[in-house]
A and B are shown apart, each in its own frame.
Chain A
Amino acid sequence: MERTQLRRQVALTRQSLFDQGFLDEQFIQLEDLQDDANPNFVEEVVTLYYRDSARLITNIEKALEKNSLDFNKLDGFMHQFKGSSSSIGAKKVKAECTLFREYCRAGNGEG
């Protein structure tokens, strides 16, 4: 019925996230930790991640608005962001964080 179709859609979306490099094996680790006793584990973690990331991004934006960039501070934020992204398997975000940090280290404000 609709449920099956929805399920299939979810499965396809999920697969494409992997294919497009948004997610990596760590996400599968998370999925493996979910079971009948903890049926919402992935959802809980991802929700936490979104909340945490939103906060970090706000902080980063604020820091970027300043006239002279505090690269150390930015690097600190990115370290946290990269850490949590890595923990949930957010591959692409993690890669962007790494790049961002390299710019920070080089003092490259334009990047």
Chain B
Amino acid sequence: MAITGDSRSQFHVLAVDDSLIDRKLIERLLKTSSYQVTTVDSGSKALKFLGFQEDEQGNPDTPFGSPNNHQEVEVNLIITDYCMPGMTGYDLLKKVKESSSLRNIPVVIMSSENVPSRITRCLEEGAEEFFLKPVRLSDLNRLKPHMMKTKIKNQKQEEDQEELKISEIQSDEQQQPVQLPSPQPQPESQPQPPPPPPPALLLQHNNNKRKAMEEGLSPDRTRPRYNGIPTMV
């Protein structure tokens, strides 16, 4: 990726909501937090914006830096309403997580309804957070860490992918999660500060989720995602 993402104001959020009022609100909230915002009113438009291509799903042989992996525009976070006609936020979430090029993008779901099973399902599918509407500025403060982690998450998810594939370089990868060469739009040996160890990341993950879940769920729940498996040897 040509964009270095060195300053926070570079973070670009894609907001998806069928309600005009909610779109306006979330746009204002995001802009106030100094993010670049694009709003769309449906899941299908969101996918189009992301440059989603069906044929690149689950392609294990995608070479590094392949042009197929580049989105039309860089998006650092997707925030979407759950209840939308046609493609729901959940459907969109699934599509994003199934796409090899888009799955690294953190997704946040918003809903006006506090339905614990819904929240669980979204988190299990890979949503970073679940916000209850109406969304407030304080909720958005929880987004920053997720966007900062995107690059780290890229590497982590690549690692998980490798594990599943039973690759011969698996043992090397596990020992060096930081230096994992990523087929994602970043070239290897990206000059970055070393990320915190995954277990600490996890804790932060869960703590963030607590606030969303406290409103509707028991705080003892943890997400049974495979991302939760510590991969550090």
Contact = CB atoms under 8 A, between A and B. Distances in A.
A29 B29 CA distance: 10
A61 B101 CA distance: 46
A29 B134 contact: yes
Contacts of B29: 33
**Chain A binding surface SS class:** helix
B133 A86 contact: yes
Interface string A27-44: 001101100001001001
Given A33-B28, A79-B83, A82-B112, A45 B137 contact: no
A48 interface: yes
A38 B25 CA distance: 12
Interface in B47-101: 83
Interface stretch (B15-23, B116-124, B158-166): B15-23
Contacts of B204: none
Interface of A: 26, 29-30, 32-33, 38, 41, 44-45, 48-49, 52, 79-80, 82-84, 86-89
A87 B28 contact: no
Given A29-B134, A29-B137, A44 B112 contact: no
Interface residues of B, number: 15
A30 B24 CA distance: 11
Contacts of A52: 19-21
B24 A48 contact: yes
A4 B32 CA distance: 30
A49 B21 contact: yes
Interface in B38-52: none
Given A79-B83, A86-B112, A32 B137 contact: yes
A87 B22 contact: yes
A91 to B, nearest CB: 11
B136 interface: yes
B32 to A, nearest CB: 6
